[in-house]
Amino acid sequence: MTTQEASIDEILERYPGSPEYLIFLLQDVQKSYGYISPDSMQLICDRTGVPESQVYSVATFYQSFRLEPQGEHDIKVCLGTACHLKGGQRIMDELKRRLQVEPGETTPDMKFTYTSVNCVGACALAPVVVIDDEYYPSTTVKKLEKQIKALSQD
Ligand code: FES
């Protein structure tokens, strides 16, 4: 957590302590910490009075919530139809080979997490890779390799 990010106490103080604010709390915690830790989840339960099993169900139902720490760089490979047809799967395979972890996992050095996503709305630029919210159009294995190398050194 950086100094600009809110502490869990600050986040909990933003909303009244009732179940209707569960999603907002989860979103804010994730925004600050990158994921929702078991401790954060427990504090949210205490604050809202929602049972832990229910908070867990909500957090796992929405794909946008993460329950594991994420790598410094978030790589999303589009595997929507256009990107798949233009080599998206090759890019996924290359990431797996290079990073030596499965999709959704984080490298042991906490540098990279990668996943596949469905259409990111830029089909004309297929295949698309989104790294830290920046779109990389017409990605090739070679371009991706360069990008990974550059990010590995920062
Ligand atoms: S299928 Fe990848 S951007 Fe649409």
Specify the pLDDT at position 2.
43
pLDDT bin (cut points 50, 70, 90) of residue 3 is very low
Amino acid at 42: Q
Which CATH number goes with the domain that contains 103? Answer: 3.40.30.10
| CB of residue 59 inside a 6 A radius of ligand 1 | no
Pocket mutation for ligand 1, best pick of 91, 120, 130, 136 (most atoms within 8 Å of C-beta): 120
CA torsion, points 72, 102, 69, 42, in degrees to nearest 10?
Answer: 160
pLDDT bin (cut points 50, 70, 90) of residue 5 is low
| CB of residue 99 inside a 6 A radius of ligand 1 | no
Respond yes or no on whether the N-terminal peptide bond of residue 16 is cis (omega within 30° of 0): no
Pair 141, 106 in one domain: yes
**pLDDT tens for residues 50-108?**
999 999 999 999 878 989 888 999 999 999 999 999 999 999 999 999 999 999 899 99
| CB of residue 117 inside a 6 A radius of ligand 1 | no
Q: Ligand 1 centre and the CA of 2: distance in Å?
A: 33
Residue 1 predicted with pLDDT over 60: no
Pair 53, 79 in one domain: no
* Domain of residue 145, residue span: 73-149
Specify the pLDDT at position 143.
95
Last residue of a domain, one of 61, 89, 104: 61
Q: Ligand 1 centre and the CA of 36: distance in Å?
A: 29
Report which ligand 1 atom has the smallest distance to the Cα of 80.
1
Pair 16, 56 in one domain: yes
Q: Percent of the chain beyond pLDDT 70?
A: 97
**pLDDT tens for residues 106-153?**
999 999 999 999 999 999 999 999 999 999 999 999 999 999 999 988
Pair 40, 84 in one domain: no
Pair 129, 83 in one domain: yes
Pair 83, 119 in one domain: yes
pLDDT bin (cut points 50, 70, 90) of residue 154 is confident
Pair 24, 89 in one domain: no
**pLDDT tens for residues 9-36?**
899 999 998 899 999 999 999 989 889 9
Query: Domain for residue 1, yes or no?
Result: no
| CB of residue 130 inside a 6 A radius of ligand 1 | no
